[in-house]
Structure 1
Amino acid sequence: MAIAIVPHSETRKPLVEAFNAELRAAQSPWGFYVDPTPAWIPKQREDQPVWRELHLAIEQAASESSETGTAEERCVGAYGLKPQVWRVHGQEHVVADWQGPVSLGAIDNRYAALGLRLLRDMKKKQPLLYSWGHGGGDEPIVKLLTKMGWMLYDTPFVFRVCSAPNFLRKNAYLRKDPRRALGQDILAATGLGTLGFGLLHAGLRARSGKRFTARAHVVPEFGAWADELWERAKDRYDAIAVRDAAAMNTLVPREHRTLEWPAPIRLRVTREGRTLGWAVVVHKELSGDARFGELHVGQVADCFGLPEHAGEILHAAFTHLRGLGVDLVTANQSHPGWVQSYADNGFVVLPGRRLFCASPELQALLAPFEQTRRSLFLTNLDGHGPML
């Protein structure tokens, strides 16, 4: 039975529906997009700075019931790519994030090797390939990448609690143990939780000795001011996806179409009338979420500016989200200076929570990585989008 890897198409939608049904029937949590046109950043023109594309692994077999021996098609795997123009050491390159791969290998050992084939096909199409989102080195895909010579780099997760009572009562991840859940209920009811988190975040802010005053202004899109900011700040980063107005209006268009995450809010951050930077934030009241339970969670999905203005930009973004009534604000960030700026704003930094995995070709481009990592800039929008 031959397997071909082909672009997703309208005619193959029924095959993907059947593929997803097979996975669900075997209690697998995985699946793939039925619609061949991505709701988020579909490719619409040749000069587009970032887009998504979907590919399928199609198995062809002769039909047992067919007198003519016509080949029947079956979807047995899939993956997505997000090519994007990056600026690395002052030069532009197309670098791609990948999503997946997902295959019947998750439920059928006959397809156990298909994941490796899909990964190799991704790298053939986009040699400067990476993934940013794996949670640890014990995941099978991470072990496979290690064997293939990929570079793995730990990046942190940051958070700041806005409503301690809600955080303690509604956070699903921290309430798995009934005894711990009871303890959190007591902390919430007595006010000790509010006091504790207040002291924690205030202590982190005080440690920096910094006072931030920048303000956020909601804007409908990125304009010439964003281009001016990009030109002013781009050379301060050794590796970063292009973040000019064209790129950002493609990533965060006026018309929000995807249902995978909430509509983004674009914030232009100023101080004394001067643009310091911008942030893209999202928020959502969750229900039954495996991590956050019923919390109202905000996230700094993307941001940009000069590194020395990071604290002001993040202060403005956090203040805006807190004003929306969120219980918790989270973010992922790779740049050490920006991570420190989160801490300066009272965020707790949890190291080693998200892996940046780079192909050997991308690793070579990023060399020397010990130097490049100090100004490698990644946010949630550099992956699959906000994790809400």
Structure 2
Amino acid sequence: MSLRIVPYQVEHEPAVAEFNARGQAHEAPFGLSKTALSAWLPKQEGRIVVRELFLALEGAEVRGGFALRRQPFWLRGAVRDICNYQGPISEGIWDRRYMMSGVQMLRAALRECPLLYALGMGGVEQPLPKLLAAAGWSMKPIPFRFYVLRPSRFLREIRPLRRTKLRAAILDVAALSGLGSLALWARQAYRTRHRLPNGSRAERVDRYEAWADTIWMKARDAYALTAVRDQAAQNVLFGDGNVKNMTLRCQRNGQDIGWAVVRSTVMQDDKYFGNLRLGSLVDCLSIPGEEANIVALATDYLRELGSDLVVTNQSHTAWLNALSARGYMEGPSNFLFACSPQLAQELGPLSGALGTVHCNRADGDGPIHL
């Protein structure tokens, strides 16, 4: 069934409300934006990072929709317009007549922005990654790393390790006896090869200023692909007054070496993290060679806030090496990076190229579950 893919306009809002009602009745995982202007990253004059919404129409009826997050990227030495394909959903979930709507929306997104990528998606077994793989997209998981700050709390709350009564009982004994804490501290200490130089400090700031542009200019050539992370882009993403996002300006002896965006969130009966206070390294950038110092300063800041655990997804080899040098451990990842055939052609095979890409949770829907 052929659908028209059009930009979401105010006059479509009643039909979107009807689509969402049908979706709710069929237990759809999420719905479309209630308003034509995106609540997050709305399109505004002069803003370089925006989120545009599109609808799949059959006559006047809405049968699906998706979003494109537009942002300038640094791709092999030049600034290019690249988009993130976000939140596609269609009536094909509950009505077989619209099973091909997902394909039609993806094709429309590629016409709108051929250099397209998708991020997250919950693992390769989910519908969107399966569709992208069938369409010839390249795909790999972005590595997941974690550091335990409070071992006893970690052992009592980490849900994936407590899925059976026996496992839970063993971890409770390990936490109560102190043996589990000792083992975790020893493992992390053994892995830690980096020491923070004297004169290093992190200052929490509300806005990115000229210092961020200086870091960006020094850092960008270290990456084959990265979103432009200058002050204009970062202020759109993290200078909006959201108190959950904490930007750390990192210096040594008064000289800027990089920055990090962190969160420290008290989880509530989370399926992965239980009731831990979860620290997260959401985004980061540094002068080449300073990555481990940024990781150390961010981790220490989250420790001071009382975080039990720090987690992050990072793709670039330099950041993964920095995390390892600070004692971070590796866990399973369902956070995928997928790129269109056109983007893959310019970037190269992901089997080797992913380690040259600087990508994390800041490059998709944001830290929505952290």
> Structure 1 length as normaliser, TM-score?
0.89
How far is 1:351 from its partner? 5.9
Counterparts of residues 276-355 of structure 1 (less than 5 Å): 276-350=257-331, 353-355=334-336
| Distance change >3 Å, CA 308–CA 254, structure 1 → 2 | same
2:57 maps to what in 1?
Answer: 58
How far is 1:239 from its partner? 1.2
Does the CA contact (< 8 Å) of 2:208 and 2:239 recur in 1?
A: no
Counterparts of residues 34-73 of structure 1 (less than 5 Å): 34-45=34-45, 47-60=46-59, 73=60
Does the CA contact (< 8 Å) of 2:206 and 2:241 recur in 1?
A: no
- The percentage of counterpart residues that share the same residue type is 37
Which of 227, 241, 245 lines up with 1:255 in the alignment?
A: 241
Which of 356, 361, 364 lines up with 1:375 in the alignment?
A: 356
| Distance change >3 Å, CA 39–CA 30, structure 1 → 2 | closer
1:229 maps to what in 2?
Answer: 215
Which of 195, 201, 216 lines up with 1:215 in the alignment?
A: 201
Does the CA contact (< 8 Å) of 2:247 and 2:260 recur in 1?
A: yes
Structure 1 residue runs of 5 or longer lacking an equivalent are 61-72, 257-261
Q: Structure 2: how far apart are the matches of 1:110 and 1:179?
A: 47
Match for 1:28: what amino acid?
A
| Distance change >3 Å, CA 189–CA 232, structure 1 → 2 | same
Structure 2 residue runs of 5 or longer lacking an equivalent are none
**Deviations for 1:86-143, whole angstroms, at most 9, x for unmatched residues?**
0111111001111121112122222111111111111111110001213433333222
Does the CA contact (< 8 Å) of 2:3 and 2:101 recur in 1?
A: no
Q: Structure 2: how far apart are the matches of 1:121 and 1:181?
A: 48
Match for 2:282: what amino acid?
A
1:86 maps to what in 2?
Answer: 73
> Structure 2 length as normaliser, TM-score?
0.93
How far is 1:79 from its partner? 0.8
Q: What RMSD over aligned residues (CA atoms) do the two structures have, in Å? A: 1.9
Does the CA contact (< 8 Å) of 1:132 and 1:356 recur in 2?
A: yes
Does the CA contact (< 8 Å) of 2:159 and 2:273 recur in 1?
A: yes
**Higher mean C-alpha deviation, range 186-195 or range 168-177:** 168-177
Q: Structure 1: how far apart are the matches of 2:15 and 2:324?
A: 48
Q: Structure 2: how far apart are the matches of 1:141 and 1:200?
A: 37
1:272 maps to what in 2?
Answer: 253
Counterparts of residues 95-244 of structure 1 (less than 5 Å): 95-205=82-192, 208=193, 210-213=194-197, 214-244=200-230
Match for 1:384: what amino acid?
D
| Distance change >3 Å, CA 95–CA 318, structure 1 → 2 | same
How far is 1:371 from its partner? 5.9
Moved over 6 A (4+): none
State the secondary structure of the residue aligned to 1:145.
helix
State the secondary structure of the residue aligned to 1:251.
helix
Match for 1:283: what amino acid?
S
Match for 1:355: what amino acid?
L
State the secondary structure of the residue aligned to 1:52.
strand
2:19 maps to what in 1?
Answer: 19
Match for 2:228: what amino acid?
V
Match for 1:25: what amino acid?
A
How far is 1:28 from its partner? 2.9
The alignment covers a number of residue pairs equal to: 367
**Deviations for 1:137-162, whole angstroms, at most 9, x for unmatched residues?**
33332222222111112320111111
1:70 maps to what in 2?
Answer: none
Does the CA contact (< 8 Å) of 2:117 and 2:340 recur in 1?
A: yes
Q: Structure 2: how far apart are the matches of 1:198 and 1:152?
A: 35
| Distance change >3 Å, CA 182–CA 277, structure 1 → 2 | same
Q: Structure 2: how far apart are the matches of 1:166 and 1:74?
A: 51
Q: Structure 2: how far apart are the matches of 1:228 and 1:361?
A: 31
Which of 61, 66, 84 lines up with 1:74 in the alignment?
A: 61
| Distance change >3 Å, CA 25–CA 181, structure 1 → 2 | farther
Q: Structure 1: how far apart are the matches of 2:2 and 2:342?
A: 29
Q: Structure 1: how far apart are the matches of 2:92 and 2:143?
A: 31
How far is 1:352 from its partner? 5.2
